[in-house]
């Protein structure tokens, strides 16, 4: 088999074509949004919202509703709840995340334990099943990704100022509270987009790792986003190819490649800085 044949072989299957499109979209979207997560030091929030969405998935399953609807409602509600408790309660954000996401996830486990025979596809939302992405799933992923991307462009200036200097941003007239809530909602939607591809367990890694790798190479947010998106897209494509030929879990392979890229970027960044 030639290199060209090896590169084209996966595209003989429709499910692989959909998987590649979904992986690239998710890889780029998570990597870009993840830059705000890394800059704001909110790495724990992706894991929290992702786990909280599991309760929504279980409720949707019990009520015979679309899983995305249930996950989206719970994810957005948890994100807004984290923002509200942090701003109006005397607790730090990591404490609010820990309380709300563990409570929501426990609710999902409790409800699932009441079901005698639950569908196997609930497990897919935990660990991801990008090869099972349907045409409807792909269209929904593209639509939600477009909404998040448009919102990021529209909120670019406000997000930039509130991420680096929220005090100055507030004195400049930027509604920092609304911007923070908007970012939390965008994070929740990004996680919903990624559930089918990499699952609840791995989505936090895809949100943080490419952006953390890019952060080792630059401190300028636009450049960081470009590098992060490139790393995310590369890991998505390379991870799918690798998982196809070694018969491994696609989501886990993508995240492992992103982790490898992080350590490479860390080494490059340290070498560029020189000895301490």
158, 169 Cβ separation under 8 angstroms: yes
Q: How far apart are CA 18 and CA 1, in angstroms?
A: 24
Burial class (CB in 10 A: 0-12, 13-18, 19+), 104: buried
Of the two residues 227 and 49, the one the predictor is more confident about is 227
- What is the pLDDT averaged over residues 111-134? 73
pLDDT at 1: 66
pLDDT higher than threshold 60 for residue 30: yes
181 vs 151: CA distance, rounded Å: 13
* Fold designation for 3-273: ABC transporter involved in vitamin B12 uptake, BtuC (1.10.3470)
Q: Which of 26, 39, 24 is nearest to 212 (CA)?
A: 39
> Would the pLDDT of 132 be above 90?
no
Q: Which long-range contacts (CB under 8 A, 24 or more apart) does 101-106 make?
A: 101/47, 101/48, 101/49, 101/51, 101/52, 102/51, 104/51, 104/52, 104/53, 104/54, 104/55, 104/74, 104/78, 105/51, 105/52, 105/54, 105/55
Structure tokens at 87: 């701003």
- The string of pLDDT tens digits covering residues 137-161 is 889 889 989 999 999 999 999 999 9
**pLDDT above 70 for 118:** no
pLDDT digits (tens, 9 = 90+) for 57-77: 888 888 888 888 888 899 999
According to DSSP, residue 12 is labeled: G
What pLDDT digit, counting tens, does each position of 34-55 carry?
Answer: 999 999 888 888 888 888 888 8
pLDDT at residue 208 in the model: 93
Q: How many residues does the chain have?
A: 276
Tally of helices (H runs) and strands (E runs) in the chain: 12, 0
Token pair listed for 142: 């593209």
Tens of pLDDT along 168-203? 888 888 898 899 999 999 999 999 888 877 887 788
Where residue 25 falls among pLDDT bands split at 50, 70, 90?
very high
Q: Mean pLDDT across the chain, nearest whole number?
A: 87
Higher pLDDT, 235 or 202: 235
Write down the residue that tokens 């960081």 correspond to. Answer: 224
Question: ∠ at Cα 124 (65, 76), nearest 5°?
Answer: 55
**Which are the contacts of 234, defined by CB distance < 8 A and separation ≥ 6?**
257, 261
């Amino acid at each position: 088999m030639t290199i060209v044949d090896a590169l084209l072989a996966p595209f003989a299957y429709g499910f692989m074509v959909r998987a590649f499109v979904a992986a690239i979209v998710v890889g780029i979207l998570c990597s870009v949004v993840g830059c705000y997560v890394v800059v704001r030091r909110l790495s724990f929030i992706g894991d929290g919202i992702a786990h909280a969405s599991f309760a929504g998935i279980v409720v949707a399953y019990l009520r015979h509703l679309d899983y995305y609807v249930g996950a989206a409602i719970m994810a957005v509600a948890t994100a807004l709840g984290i923002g509200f408790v942090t701003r109006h309660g005397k607790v730090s954000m990591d404490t609010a995340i820990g309380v709300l996401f563990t409570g929501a996830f426990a609710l999902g486990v409790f409800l699932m334990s009441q079901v005698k025979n639950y569908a196997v596809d609930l497990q897919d939302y935990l660990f991801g099943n990008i090869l099972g992405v349907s045409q409807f799933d792909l269209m929904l992923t593209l639509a939600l990704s477009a909404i998040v991307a448009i919102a990021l462009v529209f909120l670019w200036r406000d997000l930039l100022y509130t991420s680096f200097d929220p005090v100055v941003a507030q004195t400049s007239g930027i509604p920092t509270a609304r911007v923070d809530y908007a970012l939390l909602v965008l994070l929740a939607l990004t996680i919903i987009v990624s559930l089918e591809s990499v699952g609840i367990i791995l989505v936090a890694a895809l949100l943080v790792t490419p952006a953390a790798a890019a952060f080792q190479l630059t401190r300028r947010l636009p450049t960081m986003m470009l590098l992060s998106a490139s790393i995310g897209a590369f890991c998505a494509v390379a991870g799918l190819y690798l998982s196809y030929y070694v018969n491994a879990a696609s989501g886990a392979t993508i995240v492992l490649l992103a982790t490898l890229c992080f350590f490479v970027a860390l080494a490059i960044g340290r070498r560029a800085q020189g000895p301490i």
